[in-house]
Each structure stands twice: as C-alpha cells, then as structure tokens.
Amino acid sequence: MERLQKIIAQAGIASRRKSEELILSGKVELNGEVVTELGTKADPDEDIITVNGRPIRSEKKIYVMLNKPKGVITSASDPEGRKIVSDYLKGIKERVYPVGRLDYDTEGLLLLTNDGEFAHLLTHPKHHVPKTYLATVKGVPHGTALDQLRKGIMLEDGMTHPAEVEYKDVDTDNKEAVIMITIHEGRNRQVRRMFEAINHPVTRLKRVSFGGLLLQNLKRGLYRHLTKEEINNLMQSAQSASVKSKNRK
C-alpha cells in the first residue's frame, strides 16, 4: 500500500507536489470514489485509480546513464531555449528525472530514472554516495594545496567532507593539471568551488563515476540502460556509504 500522490507521480502523470494538488482539487478517484485526503493509501496493482476520469497505469521503471555534454541544462525545460538532457533521450517514452545535477558547464555521467525511491536513496545527504570527477585546473596545485581538499576545506556553506584527490596529468607548458577528485556530497558547484578555494579554478569538469558506476567508453551525448546488477550495486553503494559515514562520527 502506497500513498496516492506517490502512485500518481510514479505513473508519470505529474510531480509529487502536482499530484497532491490533483488530489486536493478532487480530480482523483479511488475505486470510483473521489479522494481528497493526502494520507489515502492504495495498492496500484489491485485498486482502480483515475485522474481526471482516466485510469492510470504504473510506469515501467527506467534507469538510464547519459554522458551529458557540456552546455546542456539538467532540467525538464529551459525558458532560454538551451538544450536540455531530455533532448538526448530519444526512444525513451517514460518520463524520467535526473538523479542529482550536473551544471551547465560540466559534462559526464548523469543518471536519470522514474524511480523516486532509487533517486532519493542516491541523493540523500546522509548516504554520502561517492562521485568522481576529472578536473582540469589552471596551474599545477602543490601537494599541500591538495592536502587541504583531502582534509576538508571551508566554503561559504560550511566545511566539506574529506575528498580523495590525486594527480592524473600535468602540462607544464600550458600551466594546467588534471586532478581526479572524489567527493561524498552533492552541494551546488562543489568541486569548482573547492578548487577556487585553493586558487586553481577549474577550466573543464567531467564526472566519470557515480557510486562505483563508471562512465567508461559511453560516447558524449549518448545513453544506455543500466543492468539489474548495476542498479543493485548502486543501491548497495548508497547503503554502505551511509554505514561508513555513521561509523566515522
């Protein structure tokens, strides 16, 4: 038994908040009776649920990995007319949502799904799911500068958790370096702000791993469906990361 608004949202009719508004406005029926109580529960496999007179069907759960290009919005729409991630999901009829975000100038691994519980598990702050990036930065940071990131660094919204950091490439001619960094949080533009804090701003940022799932050779702008094993591994990664976080406290 699940709350009606959750069932409606999972069926792709509307967001959870919009589903609540549909219920409150009397547009939802359960087994032929109008329902206006948000706490009402139902069995999507047994009960007949209609929205605006139309029966809903539970959507097939979709789990997708996209190699998001730079210059694409992680959003369902953009008033400025810029490209959005759904432009790259041709062939997927279900309504899917990003799991977390990658900013406009960041490329790489982005997960999308219509499974709200899965998305919540991977993005909830208490789970500390690891995310790994390749950051090309101006200049070549000294080891002491990277040590600041390894210990945690103070940003305007508080101290970061310790990051895993290592050199991947150094170009002394162009005075830049490629640093691999793994963080366990999901703050807005966090990696960029961390490198700005040590005076080595990021010029290119690519996410290459999320919860142990690797981008590997997926070409830019293309997507693929996750395997059952990958889905289970991601969920286990979130759960184990949560346990490790508790043990560190």
Selecting among 45, 87, 103, 171, the annotated active-site residue is: 103
Residues β-bridged to residue 111: 65
User: What pLDDT score does 220 carry?
Assistant: 97
Q: d(Cα 19, Cα 24) in Å, to the nearest integer?
A: 9
More confident call, 245 vs 54: 54
Q: What is the mean pLDDT of residues 184-210?
A: 96
Predicted TM-score (pTM) of the model is 0.78
Shared fold status for 63-125+214-241 and 130-210: yes
The structural domains of the chain, with segments of one domain joined by +, span 2-55, 63-125+214-241, 130-210
Q: What is the mean pLDDT of residues 214-242?
A: 91
Query: Which amino acid is present at 20?
Result: E
Pair 125, 186: CB distance under 8 Å: yes
- The CATH number assigned to the domain with range 2-55 reads 3.10.290.10
User: What pLDDT score does 241 carry?
Assistant: 61
The fold of the 63-125+214-241 domain, in CATH, is Alpha-Beta Plaits (3.30.70)
- State the maximum Cα–Cα separation within the chain, in Å, rounded to a whole number: 72
pLDDT one-digit tens code per residue, 95-144: 888 999 999 999 999 999 988 888 888 988 888 899 999 999 999 999 99
> Catalytic: 103?
yes
With bands split at pLDDT 50, 70 and 90, how would you rate the model's confidence at 247?
A: low
Q: Does domain 130-210 have CATH number 3.60.15.10?
A: no
CB atoms under 10 Å from CB of 134, counted, come to 19
Show the tokens assigned to 215: 């981008």
Q: How does DSSP classify residue 36?
A: -
Closest listed residue to residue 210, CA positions, set 96, 106, 136, 88? 106
Helices (H), the chain: 4-10, 16-24, 116-123, 143-151, 190-197, 228-248
User: What pLDDT score does 42 carry?
Assistant: 92
Please tell me whether residue 72 adopts helix, strand or coil conformation. coil
**Whether residue 249 has pLDDT greater than 60:** no
With bands split at pLDDT 50, 70 and 90, how would you rate the model's confidence at 94?
A: confident
Pair 133, 205: CB distance under 8 Å: yes
